[in-house]
Amino acid sequence: MSRRSEAGVVIAGGGLAAQRCAETLRKRGFEAPVRIVCAEDEAPYDRPPLSKDVAAGTADGEAVRFRDADWYADNAVELILGRRAAGLDPDARELFLDDDTRLGWDELLIATGAAPRELPMLSGFANAFPLRTLADAGRLRAALAGGSHLVIVGAGFIGQEVAATARRQGVEVTIVEALDVPLAGILGERVGRWIVDLHRDEGVRVLTGAMLESAAGNGRVEELTLAGGEKLECDAVVVGVGVAPAAAWVAGSGLDPAGIATDYAGRTGLPHVYAAGDVSRPFDPRLFDHVRTEHWDAASRQGVAAGAAMLGETPRPPALPSFWSDQYGLRIQYVGHAEGADEIRVCGEPGERDFHVLYQCAGTPVAALTVDRPRELAAMRRLIESSYEGDAVATETYETPTNAPEEAMP
């Protein structure tokens, strides 16, 4: 269903969730203006290839764009690039930009994603950077092409993928991880140890339970010192210590800058304001809570759901969250909620890099991880979904009758 309007939809943020929302609106016949405001100078692009093909030099910025320039022109989606959303007035239905422009909206989507957490001791060094944007990927590519010693701080999935890509380029890699077993709290100790072994087998030096104490160099980090005194020489440092919602700019609007709570249609507590993707905390009907995910699948689905909800549709409850990671030619996939699992069953040969892990809680499957078994994921998903069948799946929808379409397009 479409509606007639002057102001139309404004989307703050120009990544995956933003793109999916704009596509959904146009596909379903919405004819009013759609404007995407993005802090980056780039038209919307896909991030997963940044740590894989773009870092390896087998894909460039053009290859990762969701759509070419003609698509935006043909679909009348206006891109306002290089501009930041700086605030909003929900009563006046205005978005403030960093150049003092004000954009009026009928419906607003907040899709500003997440920003990498910083390590203050490394800020200011030209060769220490996170990996979130195409510009970051360009710096990483240059560092890898130089063949060098790369230090990665943090053994999360981004750090792991960078390590895998760098090793394939013949770069010497050290990972510095503060935890004794990376990702143990999410995936369990056994899987965390397997991840460490995988990288060590590929020639990565993985230092666990290791804390950075200081960084030295003249404009560029040349040497890192760990607590305990060990020194690491380096040519570049990738900081992969997690991300936080890029939502400081909503402070004072009534929304939470620590992650914007929504129902599963993306509606926030403010009429006409939606949020989707890494910036949001949608209500998860299985966990009875608002939960933030930082994965492609969720951002894509949430962007579509928000677009549909703007048109008055009620999306179905969300699928189980899932993600994938590609390392050393292996595809690692995960589905469900392993938090709170009290039993972990491993099936297959972890040493052969061919296995799956089923996470159970009180005998009920709640999550699964597969390694190099892409065909198993759908069956795992069905198994876990079926364990929720018969349970009342909780729903939470905000009372937002003013979001209903005011007028159908002729």
Ligand X SMILES: Cc1cc2nc3c(=O)[nH]c(=O)nc-3n(C[C@H](O)[C@H](O)[C@H](O)COP(=O)(O)OP(=O)(O)OC[C@H]3O[C@@H](n4cnc5c(N)ncnc54)[C@H](O)[C@@H]3O)c2cc1C
C-beta of 249: minimal distance to ligand X in Å? 5
* Residue 66 vs 388, nearer CB to ligand X: 66
Q: Is residue 34 within the footprint of ligand X (CB under 6 A)? A: no
Q: Which is nearer to ligand X, 297 or 385 (CB)?
A: 297
239 binds ligand X (CB under 6 A): no
Size of the site for ligand X (CB under 6 A): 37
Instruction: Please name the residues in contact with 383: beta carbons below 8 A apart, sequence gap of 6 or more.
Output: 358, 365, 368
**Is 51 a binder of ligand X (CB under 6 A)?**
yes
Task: Confirm or reject binding of residue 90 to ligand X (CB under 6 A).
Answer: no
Distance CA 386, CA 70 (A): 43
Q: How far is the CB of 33 from ligand X (least distance, A)?
A: 17
Q: CB under 6 A: which stretch of 21-29, 48-56, 219-227, 259-267 binds ligand X?
A: 48-56
Figure out which of the listed residues 21, 22, 25, 37 binds ligand X, where binding follows CB under 6 A.
37
Q: Does the footprint of ligand X cover residue 14 (CB under 6 A)?
A: yes
Contact 80, 102 (CB under 8 A): no
Q: For residue 119, with 0-12 CB atoms within 10 Å meaning exposed, 13-18 middle and 19 or more buried, which class applies?
A: middle
Q: Assess contact for 84 and 98: CB atoms under 8 A.
A: yes
**Cβ closest to ligand X, residue 50 vs residue 175:** 50
Q: Which residue, 181 or 335, has its beta carbon nearer to ligand X? A: 335
C-alpha pair distances (Å), 7 with each of 3, 182, 221, 253: 11, 47, 48, 20
- DSSP H or E stretch at residue 141: helix 134-145
- Is residue 85 a contact residue for ligand X (CB under 6 A)? yes
- SS3 label, residue 250: helix
d(CA 41, CA 229): 42
Alpha helices in 169-275 (DSSP H): 184-187, 189-201
Indicate whether 325 belongs to the interface with ligand X (CB under 6 A): yes
State the minimum distance, in angstroms, from the CB of residue 160 to ligand X: 10
Whether 104 and 93 have beta carbons less than 8 Å apart is answered as yes
Contact call for residues 268 and 281 (beta carbons, < 8 A): no
Q: How many Å apart are CA 257 and CA 298, to the nearest integer?
A: 19
Residues 94-133 binding ligand X (CB under 6 A) are 111-114, 131-132
Q: Which of the ranges 3-11, 32-40, 254-262, 390-398 carries the binding residues for ligand X, by CB under 6 A? A: 32-40
Q: Does 277 help bind ligand X (rule: CB under 6 A)? A: yes
Shortest approach of ligand X to residue 70 CB, angstroms?
21
Greatest pairwise CA separation for the chain in angstroms: 72
* Residue 381 found at the interface with ligand X (CB under 6 A): no
> How many angstroms separate the CA atoms of 87 and 90, rounded?
10
Each as own residue / partner, the long-range contacts of residues 257-260 (CB below 8 Å, 24 or more positions apart, any chain) are 259/290, 259/292, 260/110
Measured from the CB atom, the residue of 71 and 96 that comes closer to ligand X is 96
d(Cα 209, Cα 179) in Å, to the nearest integer? Answer: 5
Q: Please identify, among the stretches 2-10, 67-75, 293-301, 350-358, the one whose residues bind ligand X according to the rule CB under 6 A.
A: 293-301
Could you say whether residue 245 binds ligand X (CB under 6 A)? no
Q: In this chain, which of 8, 48, 245, 321 binds ligand X, going by CB under 6 A?
A: 48
Is 154 a binder of ligand X (CB under 6 A)? Answer: no
Secondary structure (3-state) at 64: helix
Considering only 5, 8, 10, 13, the residue that binds ligand X (CB under 6 A) is: 13
Give the x/- contact pattern for ligand X in 162-201, rule: CB under 6 A: ----------------------------------------
Q: Which two tokens stand for residue 239?
A: 């900081």
Between 3 and 298, CB nearer to ligand X? 298
Under rule CB under 6 A, residue 373 binds ligand X = no
Q: Is 266 in the site for ligand X (CB under 6 A)?
A: no
Let me know: does 1 contact 97? Beta carbons within 8 Å. no
Is the alpha carbon torsion for 394, 396, 397, 399 positive or negative? positive
The residues binding ligand X (CB under 6 A) are: 12-18, 37-40, 47-48, 50-51, 84-85, 111-114, 131-132, 158, 246, 249, 277-279, 294-297, 299, 323-325
